[in-house]
Copies of this chain bind each other. A is one copy, B any other.
Amino acid sequence: MTEPTAPALPVVRRLPRYYRFFSELKKNGVKNISSRALSELMGLTASQIRQDFSVFGIKGQQGCGYDVTETAAELGGILRLDRRKKAVLIGAGNLGRAISEHMDFEGKGYELIGIFDSDPALTGTVLRGLNIMSESELAAFCLANKPEIAILCVPTEPAPELARLLYDGGVRAFWNFSHANIAAVCPDAVVENVHLSDSLMILSYLYDKNC
């Protein structure tokens, strides 16, 4: 009896993009699309699309492709955008403020329930309709409100300790903008890293190569 293997990460990482394209097609009133037509739109091979979809049991119909509305809903369901997730944001500096005001959390099932910062000057000021709290209140807040996900917009140095505090408060998912190794201090938590500076360095490399 073999365990059903989890979908490969490269496939998972393509899901949000599929979701975006199907949402867009739906908005444009497109009813069906073949893997062939979608492949041209997305710059993938039709084979890969069919292969990816089969991993998640997304079914089309021979002769007329995939139902746009149905597939969009399935992709959203696989990504669990419907599932309600309570989130806290740690760090209300430039990045934290931008993330809190720029992202469409609700559209992805996230509910931002608390914002924390170590700077006393920020405590009590309002961001996205929430009073910024002191990091000293974090542990008690977690116990009382049970957030599941934390967004780490703090510098690399304080990040591991804060992550551990959140972990001990029950948080098991981190959206990590720092360079700290969160996985190392939070076993069996999931960590999605966003390394903006790495991305900018890669651009520098690619640009120069291109010249």
Name A's B-contacting residues (CB within 8 A). Answer: 6, 12-13, 15-17, 19-20, 43, 78-81, 83, 85, 93-95, 97-99, 101-105, 108-110, 148-149, 172-173, 175, 179, 181, 188-190, 192, 194-211
How many angstroms between the C-alpha atoms of A196 and B15 in the bound complex?
14
Indicate if the CB atoms of B80 and A195 lie closer than 8 Å: no
This chain's copy number in the assembly = 2
Q: With A102-B93, A110-B200, A197-B103 as given contacts, are A148 and B207 in contact (CB-CB < 8 Å)? A: yes
Q: Which residues in B have their C-beta under 8 angstroms from that of A108? A: 197, 200-201, 204
- Our pick among B16, B149, B202, B203 for the contact of A202 (Cβ within 8 Å) is B16
Q: With A12-B202, A85-B207, A199-B175 as given contacts, are A102 and B95 in contact (CB-CB < 8 Å)? A: yes
Q: With A97-B94, A102-B95 as given contacts, are A13 and B202 in contact (CB-CB < 8 Å)? A: yes
How many angstroms between the C-alpha atoms of A110 and B149 in the bound complex?
34
Task: Output the residue of A19, A109, A205 with the most chain B CB within 10 A.
Answer: A205
Q: A15-B202, A98-B102, A105-B200 are in contact. List 17 more A-B contacts (CB 8 A).
A: A6-B209, A13-B202, A17-B195, A78-B205, A79-B201, A79-B204, A83-B204, A93-B102, A94-B101, A98-B99, A103-B196, A108-B197, A108-B201, A108-B204, A172-B210, A188-B210, A194-B199
